[in-house]
Chains A and B, each alone.
Chain A
Amino acid sequence: MKGGAIMEKLAGILKEIKSDVDYGKESRLFTDGILTSLDMVRLVLGINELFGIEIDPDDIITENFDSVPAMMKLIERYGGK
Chain B
Amino acid sequence: MISIVPYSGEYKVGVLAVLKRNFPWMARYSDEWLSRWLSPLIEYHWADDPDISDVPFKYGAIVLDGDNVVGFFGTIYSYRLIGGKKYLCLNFSTWCADAEYRIHTFSALKKLCATADILTDFTPNEPSREIITKMFGFKYAETKCFNLCPVPLLHSAKASVRFINDPSELKDPEQSAIFAEHQKYGLKCAEFERDGEKGCIFYYFHTSRKLKLYRIVRTVKIYNRKLFTENLREIARKIQKHEGFFIHFCVDSCFIDGKLSYPLYFVRKAYRCVRTKENINFQLDFLYSELSMLDI
Inter-subunit contact A57/B134 (CB<8 Å): no
- B176: min CB distance to chain A, Å: 40
Write the chain B residue with the least CB distance to A32: B100
Contact among A31, A32, A40 for B106, CB-based, below 8 A: A40
Task: Report B122-144 CB contacts with A as 1/0, cut-off 8 Å.
Answer: 00001100110011100000000
Q: How far is the CA of A44 from the CA of B110 in the complex (A)?
A: 15
- B271: min CB distance to chain A, Å: 15
Q: A36-B127, A41-B130, A57-B110 are in contact. Are A30 and B103 (CB under 8 A)?
A: yes
Write the chain A residue with the least CB distance to B108: A57
Residues of chain B in range 112-159 having any CB-CB distance to chain A below 8 Å: 126-127, 130-131, 134-136
Inter-subunit contact A37/B102 (CB<8 Å): yes
Hey, which chain B residues are within 8 Å of A57, CB to CB?
106-107, 109-110, 135-136
Hey, which chain B residues are within 8 Å of A38, CB to CB?
126-127, 130-131
Inter-subunit contact A41/B104 (CB<8 Å): no
Instruction: Please report the number of residue pairs spanning A and B whose Cβ atoms sit closer than 8 angstroms.
Output: 50
Q: A37-B131, A38-B127, A41-B131 are in contact. Are A58 and B104 (CB under 8 A)?
A: no
Inter-subunit contact A37/B127 (CB<8 Å): yes
Q: How far is the CA of A61 from the CA of B101 in the complex (A)?
A: 9
Q: A57-B109, A58-B110 are in contact. Are A41 and B134 (CB under 8 A)?
A: yes
Inter-subunit contact A65/B135 (CB<8 Å): no
- A39: min CB distance to chain B, Å: 10
Inter-subunit contact B100/A30 (CB<8 Å): yes
Write the chain B residue with the least CB distance to A62: B103
Q: List residues of chain A with CB under 8 Å of any chain B CB.
A: 30-33, 36-38, 40-41, 44-45, 56-58, 60-62, 65
